[in-house]
Structure formats: C-alpha cells, structure tokens
Amino acid sequence: MVNGKMCISVGDTEIMCRIDPALQEAVLKKEGCRLMTMKGREYNGYVLVTEDCLKTKKEFDYWIGLALEFNKRAKASKKK
C-alpha cells in the first residue's frame, strides 16, 4: 500500500504491480508479464511480473516506477 492505495505486492516468484490501465496492452507484450486473474476475473491495471524479469536494478526500477507513477493518480478503494 502506498498512500492508502494498492500499489505493489510481493509473492514467492513474482510481484504484482498496479499500473496505468492505458499502458497495460504495451506492458503485457513484455516477456514474463501477465494480467492478474483471480477466481476467473481479469483485473485491468494489475499485472504480475516474474522474478526472471527483475534480475537487474534497471528492470526492477522499471516495474516499481510504473506502479509508483500510477499510484499518484489511482483512486483508493472504498473502505467498508
């Protein structure tokens, strides 16, 4: 969570990044990136990136940068 909004999540072998949905089509063309799917539902703007795509600082910074940049404009989920 960054500024009360979902931004990045770290798993065992991949990270989830919340990115600008307008960039999604181009980003999904990158090796090791896929759209997040849960219970059969695809989540636009949420991508999973494999650890193989995060081996260098440049690669890591690219994905984290996308998530942090969109976080500035993203809307927080409504609290229940």
- Assign domain 8-71 to a CATH class: alpha beta
Which pLDDT tens digit goes with each residue over 16-69?
999 999 999 999 999 999 999 999 999 999 999 999 999 999 999 999 999 999
Confidence band for 79, pLDDT divided at 50, 70 and 90: low
Q: Per-residue pLDDT for 14 more than 90?
A: yes
Q: Note the pLDDT of residue 80.
A: 57
Do the beta carbons of residue 5 and residue 76 sit within 8 Å?
yes
Contacts of 15 (CB under 8 A, 6+ apart): 8, 9, 48, 49, 51, 54, 63
pTM over 0.75: yes
